[in-house]
Amino acid sequence: MASSIHYRTRYLGDNMGISDRTHFWTSRTAGSDPASAVGANNTAWTLSGTGSDGSVQGSAWRIASTGSGQTWSVSSAAATTLVAGFQYQTTPTDGTVLMALDNGSKRVEVQSNGGNANLKLVGATTVTTHDLDLKAALDDGVPILLRLTLDASGNARLYMREIIEDDLGETHYLSVVGKASTSSGIFWGNTNGSVDWFTVLATTHGAYSPDEMDMTDFVSTSFVRTALNIVEILRNSKRFYLSTHVGDEGILYGFDLSSGMMSRLRPPTVHVMLQNTTSPDFLALSGSRTEQNYTAVIMVTTRGTDYRNAYRMGLSITGEVFDELYTNTGLEGGIDTLTDYRVNFDTKMDDDEIVCVHILTLTYMKKVNMLRREL
């Protein structure tokens, strides 16, 4: 059995902070007048600049600085997030502020560098992005999508195209510490050049990465707050096998379960997957609140030359997974509830079989507010 036991260390770096179910994009616009908020729970933006410099062009709000340009803002909070999708028509001059977050203590800005390929993230220091094709001039060019975050301690990040790690596993975002505050708020726009703004989302509920709060409430509720939340809870567990034998690097979302990928991982491992989402009932008030069921599948994989030992270790890990989730998820009766579960136990059927996979399936029922989605 010694060959199948691997003691692993706990990862002590930053943990994800999954957004709370009550958190949402508090200001949302998509190609229309930012001063006219559409839908409920949507705070309109306030204009600074020349009103005639902004207009609807196709599916975008175009700011062309024939006058002083436009900067749109809403009130800030200690920790904030701003997402913007835009495309240059005429390149803004070097130093033009496109996005900014200021929490009253620290400030961070995304600025033009005067070219069409790169942007600057400016705080107490300045860093430059890789090539971004800001005019979408390439054959497959599309508008750039940026996510700017600022936490209560003044730490800022800039995510490009909602990617956290690239294909090589390298960090894909930029980080700086904010500079001194000048004027509290959440800001976007341009005072120079001509820029098409396709969508802008902001929240005063926190500084959220793409894995903590998605651009759509549908994905945040299902994938982020259900599946990725399970991954986070299991990684934070102090239960014996989960913390010492599996470890953070062995608890993963099952994006890729191909044989090639699985062969690279050393058991024991725990893979979490969101299998499906269903909505049996659209409740009262014209579908303003729905009841939704989420099926999460957890695969516990162990390996050993003695299948009995691999089977038993897999059972112990599966038991820890169930106990951890039973005591830490689905605890809000009638709003977020664990309704049922089942376990499929893997019995050896082939003489050469050495890998054991027990599968735990959980169903969560959630009541979801549907009035935070309009743009």
Q: Examine the pLDDT at 370 and tell me if it is beyond 90.
A: no
pLDDT average, residue stretch 175-198: 98
Q: Examine the pLDDT at 197 and tell me if it is beyond 80.
A: yes
Which range (32-36, 43-47, 75-79, 332-336) has the least confidence? 332-336
pLDDT average, residue stretch 321-346: 92
The predicted pLDDT at position 354 comes to 86
Calpha distance 361→294 (Å, rounded) = 10
Domain with CATH 3.30.2000.30 in the chain: 2-17+217-369
pLDDT average, residue stretch 39-48: 94
- Tokens 């409740």 map to which residue? 283
pLDDT average, residue stretch 293-302: 97
- Helices and strands (H and E) in the chain: how many: 6, 22
Q: Examine the pLDDT at 309 and tell me if it is beyond 90.
A: yes
Q: Examine the pLDDT at 23 and tell me if it is beyond 50.
A: yes
Domain with CATH 2.60.120.560 in the chain: 27-203
Q: How many residues does the chain have?
A: 375
Q: Examine the pLDDT at 327 and tell me if it is beyond 60.
A: yes
Calpha distance 289→283 (Å, rounded) = 6
The predicted pLDDT at position 281 comes to 65
The predicted pLDDT at position 288 comes to 75
The predicted pLDDT at position 286 comes to 59
Q: Examine the pLDDT at 180 and tell me if it is beyond 50.
A: yes
Q: What angle do CA 186, 188, 194 make, to 5 degrees?
A: 175
Structure tokens at 159: 């995510």
pLDDT average, residue stretch 123-127: 98
Work out whether strand 251-253 and strand 269-282 pair parallel, antiparallel, or are unpaired: parallel
The predicted pLDDT at position 43 comes to 96
The Cα-based distances of 16 to 44, 224, 228, 230, 244 in angstroms read 30, 11, 9, 11, 20
The predicted pLDDT at position 283 comes to 57
The predicted pLDDT at position 5 comes to 37
pLDDT average, residue stretch 168-193: 94
Q: Structure pTM?
A: 0.90
The number of CA neighbours under 13 Å toward the Cβ of 264 is 6
The predicted pLDDT at position 305 comes to 80
Q: Examine the pLDDT at 170 and tell me if it is beyond 90.
A: no
The predicted pLDDT at position 184 comes to 97
pLDDT class for 63, splitting at 50, 70, 90?
A: very high
Q: What DSSP string runs through 43-91? A: PPPEEEE-GGGEEEETTEEEEE-SSS-EEEEE---SSEEEEEEEEEEEP
pLDDT in tens, 202-233: 999 999 999 999 999 999 999 999 999 999 99
Provide, rounded to the nearest whole percent, the portion of the chain with pLDDT above 90.
Answer: 78
pLDDT average, residue stretch 155-160: 98
- Of 296, 325, 316, the closest CA to residue 356 belongs to 316
The predicted pLDDT at position 237 comes to 97
Does residue 138 or residue 12 have the better pLDDT? 138
The predicted pLDDT at position 13 comes to 35
- For 2, the 3-state DSSP assignment is helix
Calpha distance 375→356 (Å, rounded) = 48
**CATH homologous superfamily for 27-203?**
Exo-inulinase; domain 1 (2.60.120.560)
Look over the chain and give the mean of its residue pLDDT values, rounded to a whole number.
91
pLDDT in tens, 223-280: 999 999 999 999 999 999 999 999 999 999 999 998 888 888 999 999 999 999 998 7
> What count of other Cβ atoms lies within 10 Å of the Cβ of residue 195?
29
Tell me which CATH code domain 2-17+217-369 carries: 3.30.2000.30
